[in-house]
Structure 1
Amino acid sequence: MEESPNLDIPNFTLNKEIGRGGMARVFLGEQQQPKREVAIKIVSPEGNDKKILNDLKKEGDTVAQFSHPNIVTVYACGVIDSNYFLAMEILSGGDLKSKIQSGINDKEAFSIMLDVSKALEHAHKRGVLHRDIKPENILFHEDGKAVLVDFGIAKAQNSVSEFTKVGAVVGTPHYMSPERIMGKVTDERSDIYALGVVFYEMLIGKKVYAGEDTYAIGYAHVHEPVPDLPEEKSHYQALLNKLLAKSQDDRFQNATQLISQLKRYMKRFDRDETTQSMSPLIVKQKTPKLMIGLTAAFAIIAAITVTLWLMNQNPSIEVNTQALTPDQLVELSNKLGAANSFFSMGNTNQAEELYLSILTDFDCTNEEARGRLKLLNPQAHQQVIDSCD
């Protein structure tokens, strides 16, 4: 790396260069008052364009007002000797590009998506678009928390400047939305599209569209269908399709909607992990196939009748159904009735599995399932209690 440039920034000293790209270089530095280590980004526009420098300053001032754990903290910014500088916190956990190359699992990908979506929600609610979402602009704290950086071509919504006109063709084509490629008006849904491209890259390890040049990549974003995920990840296809919809109206309309969906996936990951941790506690017994079929048939027939009878006999039994869909409510009712039927017939193994499924997949507060599971497997019951929100 090169030595620091001959640039005198008040209250800051520049040390060694630690990265560069395009018009920008990043240096380790130190702020004098208050005393702390910082990363300092220096942008030197071609021709020392004053309009670009002024726009960068305005946009830097905007980001400096953000206070969010998933957005880089900016300490100062300004223009000195035809160079724009931005002093920010040091993020020592590396970037997403490196993590993708090393390989990340699905839960990590969803956790990163959730962190970045929260950052976008914060920025969008304050009228600021990022416009350059890509793995290199997602860094990490040592604890693994994802942080969105480099709002260098950010744009205030409903505003147009000389730099943002240039910014319409600045950025990485692999992550540009169809409307941006076509020069149409962009909004927060364009950032969400770019995040969808990053999501695909985290899941698959390669970019969603490849091409020999910028034109080919842009054409693919506008015209090519969303790629199919491999079978083992096909349950994420609907989410990917919504993120990468060609029409803005078919995507998540804001980051808040996306966050809500991602939280559902994260809860599923947590439930699956809980179920896996409980599996050694479940003692399975072998039953002849014919007997299983007859017993299951009887259980299904009796399911709804038993459930209604139990609820009439014991009004204190409550089900936390606020977050369940109508189909899930029916499935919960059927499983509870079947589990009670198995329990009454002495088929404790089948009953235990159904009670456990009810508590881990539908409603961890269901009193009837908790009470029966406690009788059948106290250890599994305690794990449900401990993991219940």
Structure 2
Amino acid sequence: MEESFDIEIPNFILGKEIGRGGMARVFIGEQLEPKRPVAIKIVTPQGNDPKILEDLQKEGDTVAQFSHPNIVTVFSCGVIEQNYYLAMEILSGGDLKKKIEEGITELEAFNIMVDMAKALEHAHKRGTLHRDIKPENILFHEDGQAVLVDFGIAKAQNTVSEFTRVGAVVGTPHYMSPERALGKEIDERSDLYALGVVLYEMLIGKKVFEGSDTFAISYAHVHEPVPDLPEEKAKYQTLLNKLLAKNPDDRFQTATQLVAQLKKYLRRLKPITDTTHSFAPLPDLAAKKKSSPLPFIITGVIVVVAVLVGVWFMNQQAAIEINQTDLTTEQQIEMSDKLLAAESQFRLGNVAMAEQLYESVLVDYDCNNEEAGNRMKTINKAKLDQIMAACEP
């Protein structure tokens, strides 16, 4: 018989329980104004600790300010009768744990990685670590878009929280970075390590390190080398080694760098359109009948000049389109649309929106796009330098 849960939350109606774990329970519910279905997570701390409730409220408020397609949308949060509640969008596409059990393709895995890296990029830029990246916290919309949820033990950087001190030792040890397992201070690179563990699990179907208990698993994260991928997936070993480096300094330093690298792998996994070109052959001068040397010299000079001009033009085109040869027709159209939209936003004075669009062009499509690069140099040169540092030569 299902245990009842008697709590009244203003402007919400609590429905059927759909999951629970630790101190939390999740219900299907309804928001009355504006009227919409929601998922409601309720956390009941042991002993109804008011400090933990206060920290949860602060952290809920932080996540509620996020606005990103790959981070769960929070509609409301608060404390009611010694319980913390958080009302959020319903994600009906299941979680990554189930998808891994069913089996996913490499293309699906890298699409999910890009979605999650972008989510972390958004959170990290706002000074918030997730601290509990794992397949159970990656849910999906019906269309397959991945969404990061459960910032319940998230920590705003440069803040002290009793709850996050508890959070430092909770969570699944399978996804803990070496520095976290050792109880050291962590930063955004710890989240990226956990995402690397998720990548291994998506590619192989099992966790990177197993053990009989928490200590054994933590020891492996600190001391054991990264396992070798099977031959058919060895092309991802370099990426995995960098994500799972024991020393944070040897990993990707930011989610932005990771997004740029993942996009290169993703492009290689997608079908590429035929971009071969045919060129007319150069005149066969040897076949011409030799006569006066002067016409021959003049003709040779003309041909050489023509060839040099042609080579210069081709090099100029290559500088502009260096990465576009890897793009499908659809991707090239998408990139053009984003460039037009970015220019329009820039001229309207919406610099932040323009920056996001230009960044998307450089990271998602062509890191050498001249138009986007010139604008980014004006808007945010530091970000442009970071993108170019991660750009494939």
Same fold (TM > 0.5)? yes
What corresponds to 2:272 in structure 1? 274
Alignment of 1:5-24 (within 5 A): 5-24=5-24
Are residues 1:320 and 2:318 paired?
A: yes
What corresponds to 1:101 in structure 2? 101
What corresponds to 2:29 in structure 1? 29
Q: Give the Cα separation in 1 of the matches to 2:121 and 2:3.
A: 38
Indicate conservation of the 8 Å contact 2:211/2:217, yes or no. Answer: yes
C-alpha offsets along residues 285-313 of structure 1, whole Å, 9 cap, x if unaligned?
xxxxxxxxxxxxxxxxxxxxxxx997415
Letter in 2 for 1:320: A
Q: Give the Cα separation in 2 of the matches to 1:51 and 1:111.
A: 39
Letter in 2 for 1:23: M
Structure 2: gaps of 5 or more residues: 275-303, 329-364, 367-393
C-alpha offsets along residues 196-224 of structure 1, whole Å, 9 cap, x if unaligned?
00000000000000000000000000000
Q: Give the Cα separation in 2 of the matches to 1:322 and 1:172.
A: 47
Q: Give the Cα separation in 2 of the matches to 1:101 and 1:197.
A: 16
Letter in 1 for 2:91: L
Task: Please give the TM-score of this superposition, normalised by the length of structure 1.
Answer: 0.73
Q: Give the Cα separation in 1 of the matches to 2:233 and 2:179.
A: 28
Q: 1:359 to 1:66 in 2, by over 3 A?
A: closer
Task: Please give the TM-score of this superposition, normalised by the length of structure 2.
Answer: 0.73
Q: Give the Cα separation in 1 of the matches to 2:325 and 2:74.
A: 45
Offset, 1:265: 1.0
Helix, strand or coil at the partner of 1:42: strand
Q: Give the Cα separation in 1 of the matches to 2:159 and 2:21.
A: 26
What corresponds to 1:282 in structure 2? none
Q: Give the Cα separation in 1 of the matches to 2:210 and 2:119.
A: 28
Q: Give the Cα separation in 2 of the matches to 1:11 and 1:215.
A: 45
What corresponds to 2:253 in structure 1? 253
Q: Give the Cα separation in 2 of the matches to 1:173 and 1:122.
A: 25
What corresponds to 2:59 in structure 1? 59
C-alpha offsets along residues 243-273 of structure 1, whole Å, 9 cap, x if unaligned?
0000010000010000000111111122xx2
Indicate conservation of the 8 Å contact 1:211/1:217, yes or no. Answer: yes
Are residues 1:182 and 2:182 paired?
A: yes
Indicate conservation of the 8 Å contact 2:272/2:327, yes or no. Answer: no
Q: 1:5 to 1:117 in 2, by over 3 A?
A: same
Helix, strand or coil at the partner of 2:41: strand
Indicate conservation of the 8 Å contact 1:174/1:217, yes or no. Answer: yes
What corresponds to 1:241 in structure 2? 241
Letter in 1 for 2:32: Q
Offset, 1:81: 1.1
Q: 1:174 to 1:310 in 2, by over 3 A?
A: farther
Indicate conservation of the 8 Å contact 2:28/2:37, yes or no. Answer: yes
Indicate conservation of the 8 Å contact 1:4/1:17, yes or no. Answer: no
Indicate conservation of the 8 Å contact 1:38/1:90, yes or no. Answer: yes
Q: Give the Cα separation in 1 of the matches to 2:26 and 2:307.
A: 65
Offset, 1:109: 0.4
Indicate conservation of the 8 Å contact 2:112/2:146, yes or no. Answer: yes
What corresponds to 2:214 in structure 1? 214
Higher deviation after alignment, 314-323 or 250-259: 314-323
Indicate conservation of the 8 Å contact 2:267/2:326, yes or no. Answer: no
Q: 1:322 to 1:224 in 2, by over 3 A?
A: farther
Alignment of 1:268-307 (within 5 A): 268-270=268-270, 273-274=271-272
Offset, 1:322: 6.0
Q: Give the Cα separation in 2 of the matches to 1:122 and 1:359.
A: 29
Q: Give the Cα separation in 2 of the matches to 1:124 and 1:4.
A: 38
Helix, strand or coil at the partner of 1:163: helix
Offset, 1:42: 0.7
Kindly report the root-mean-square deviation, in angstroms, between the aligned alpha carbons of the 2 structures: 2.5
